[in-house]
Each structure stands twice: as C-alpha cells, then as structure tokens.
Structure 1
C-alpha cells in the first residue's frame, strides 16, 4: 500500500514539474522551484507529508465521513443558493454522484487524510446503514454541514468523534432515493426565522467557521469527542502538529 502511494505521488510530482515549466516558459531553477512549491501545496497538499507518512498514518478502525450532501448543497443552484437568496426554489437539489472536493466540504483535509490511509465513507452510507459506524473506534467529520436525521443520530451517539470543522450539522435534509435528490427540512431561519440550527444541537459552533487562520487552534472536549475551534482548510496543509493531534484524539494509544 505504501509503495503504491509513493509511486502515485512521485508520478504526480513529475507531472506538476512539467506543468510549471510549460506555464512559466522558463526552466530557471529558482523561479520554477518557487512556482512548483506553491502549486504543489495548493493542489496536492498531501505531498507535504510524504516523508512523515509512517508517523502520521491513520490509526486502525478510524474513518473519515465525506460530506457528499454538503458538496451537493453547494453546487450551482443548490441549497446554499437558496440560503443566499439567489434562488427561491433551490431547497431541493440533486445529489452528486461523485466526490468532487471543494473548499466547502474540507477538500484539503480530505485529500491529506485519505492519503494518510484513513478509511472513507460518506453521508449516504450512514443514512442507509447507521450501524456502519459501529465498525470504527473513531469517526472524523469534515465540513458535514448538511446531514440527515439518521446520520445525525448515528454520529452523535458514537463515543469517539473528531469534529474537524465548525458548522457541522447546520442543516437537516431528507433524501429521496428514487429521485436521487435531497430536500432541506430545517436550517438557519428555515422554515422559521427563529431557527438557528437544523437540529437544535447544543454544540453548534458555526460562529467559529469564519476563523480560517487557525492561529490559536485547539480541540475542545464535548460529550462524544472533540471539536476544533476554527476552519483548518489552509492551516492543515502546513501543520504536522495538527495531524498528530487528530491522530492522538482518534487513537489515545498514539
């Protein structure tokens, strides 16, 4: 498994080097090196931790939940557009068929954690089979902002969850599997103006979401795990310390 990851990353690094040379029209070592490092980290943040793979690799029975419903909600003409007032009927949206990591789901964290060997499931897996989480010692959430009632109950009843992004469980949706769509049921100011959170969750920390610098990041304890006090989308790509802490929280024996 490690050898396959090494070969994959090495091939991608070579391709990026060629792209940078073609893009800049120069083979100057200094300029190309600077452009390459910036582009590599922004597009493939996991390559930052190639040499630390063994140290930071995933603990056994730890899973990351990919936010496919949040990805769908942030698509063009999605529920996010409904919230923003751009579309009055966009509270129903088709569910994306494939993973297409974007900022709003926690793309960089997903790429890094997947590279480090963490298992991956998604919202649909949990909604259809809430017991699937019983297979894992720890669960790591990305920006799972839009979730179903089944998923919410399954995650909040699991004893060891790392909530990596603020704003999780912000909106409750219902899935229509026949039409492969989801409908917003409850969220901030919907269907009533006095609603703050789709699940009336006591640990709602959406007010921390805009902190993207994570200068003083920390995980704080809640009933069934730990929550991060900032959005780590940029910080995590340069922080082996944060990745060690995630691993420690997911595996107390680390």
Structure 2
C-alpha cells in the first residue's frame, strides 16, 4: 500500500458509536500532510527546542489501528470482523499518527520513543521529566498504567488512551479489547478513565486553545494537527515551559 493510498484514507467524522477521529469543518474528508511542516520553526529552534529531558511518544499502535482492514474499518461499518490488524514496523507519519505534530517535535529535538518501547518496558518513562503524547488513542493496559502514573504528561491531542488493545509480538498483530461501544454498546471508553477528552477532537481551528490541568499533567483543548504547521509557535513555546 503506497503512501498516497494512506493519505487518501477516508478520514471522515465517525458517528458517536464509533472511534474518535476529527476532520476540519467543510472538509472533503481527505487529509493532506503538510510538506516539511517543521521548517517553519527553523528560526525559532533555540527557543522552542527540547531541553533533552522530554520524550514524545510516537503512536505506532494507533497508526496500525487505522490501517486498511483495521479498527477504523470496523468502526466505520465496512466490516464486522476487523478488530485485529497487523502491527506496523515503520513510522509512516500519517494523520492517524499525528504526522505533522510528530515531525515538528522530532525536529525540535524531543527524544522519540513509541508505544512498543513502553509496552515492553514501562520503566522507560522514568528516564524523562516530561512525556508528550500525540494521537495515542489505542494503547495496551501496560502502557496506559505507565502513562497515567508518570508525574508529568502533556496530552497534546484529544482522545488519548481511549481504547484498550493487546499485542501479539510473535504474530505481529494488535487486537481491540475494549473501546467506544465495543465489545458492547454501553461501553464509553477502553479504560473508563475520568480524564478522557474526545469532546475536543472536532476543534481543528484551535482559536481558543489552552492547556488545562489533569491529575498527572496537562491536556490541550483542541486537535492541533493542522494548526501546528503554520500557527503553532505559541503552543510549542507553552509546551516547553509546562
């Protein structure tokens, strides 16, 4: 499957019985990744760059979940059995994996780890003073526990930690265990976590953005994927100082 096919995946707003995914208002539903979004911040690199004690978590599980024939297709009603899918081995930096946000933070020198690193060794988070999550919608119970027990997490994208999965590393697959309306219609989220915030996932304008406090850090009240490439200076400046 080519990168073009991935970018043309129908990222349409899913009804409230399905997984959380936002698209801009008045959008055709097609996501276009900005070309080199990080270069806008070249002149501000010293001001915005990481101090070396912060990790950004690449959401490889969520990227995998939105693959063709994966959880996205199940929630979209394209198939009744797509609750298992292959685990990706490469960072494709697509919309589902917060491609723009990740590119910018990687460029600014934030140390990169991913879901697999945390799932296999949750103590890895102890190395960092601060952890930044992207669109980390699908996580394992081990990863969930490690993240909510870290003292300072910045939840940069809404809907993080919303669905529970398991991983079979021998078969290289992930399976949906619990999420919105799954396995039964009365389920609201994968972990019944009180801080889950998918209500902000449809605000792509970020005109009134702010970070608000939760038990172990801060959450952003909008979905910044298309905002960050051109207008994210203040968010990135605030992110560094939280």
With structure 1 as the length reference, what TM-score do the two structures score? 0.81
Shift of 1:234: 1.3
Shift of 1:207: 1.2
Q: Secondary structure at the match of 1:80?
A: helix
The match for 1:180 among 144, 151, 172 is 172
Q: Secondary structure at the match of 1:48?
A: helix
Q: Secondary structure at the match of 1:193?
A: coil
Q: Distance in 1 between matches of 2:100 and 2:84?
A: 27
Bigger relative contact order (CA 8 A; separation at least 6): 2
The match for 2:150 among 158, 173, 176 is 158
Q: Secondary structure at the match of 1:43?
A: coil
The match for 2:37 among 28, 45, 51 is 45
Q: Please tell me whether residue 88 in structure 1 is matched to residue 94 in structure 2.
A: no
Q: Distance in 1 between matches of 2:65 and 2:241?
A: 32
- Counterpart for residue 239 of structure 1: 232
Shift of 1:60: 2.2
Q: Please tell me whether residue 133 in structure 1 is matched to residue 125 in structure 2.
A: yes
Kept in 1, the 8 Å contact 2:52–2:109? The answer is: no
- Counterpart for residue 202 of structure 1: 194
Q: Distance in 2 between matches of 1:140 and 1:112?
A: 13
Q: Secondary structure at the match of 2:240?
A: helix
Q: Distance in 2 between matches of 1:131 and 1:154?
A: 7
- Counterpart for residue 214 of structure 2: 222
Q: Distance in 2 between matches of 1:101 and 1:236?
A: 14
Task: Tell me the C-alpha RMSD between the 2 structures.
Answer: 0.9
Give 4+ residue runs of structure 1 displaced > 3 Å after superposition. Answer: none
Question: Unaligned stretches of 5+ in structure 2?
Answer: 1-32
Q: Distance in 2 between matches of 1:92 and 1:233?
A: 27
Shift of 1:239: 2.1
The match for 2:161 among 161, 169, 172 is 169
Q: Please tell me whether residue 117 in structure 1 is matched to residue 109 in structure 2.
A: yes
Q: Secondary structure at the match of 2:34?
A: helix
- Counterpart for residue 185 of structure 2: 193
Q: Please tell me whether residue 108 in structure 1 is matched to residue 100 in structure 2.
A: yes
Question: Unaligned stretches of 5+ in structure 1?
Answer: 1-40, 250-254
Number of residue pairs matched by the alignment: 209
With structure 2 as the length reference, what TM-score do the two structures score? 0.85
Shift of 1:88: 1.2
Q: Secondary structure at the match of 2:199?
A: helix
Q: Distance in 1 between matches of 2:71 and 2:227?
A: 27
Kept in 1, the 8 Å contact 2:138–2:162? The answer is: yes
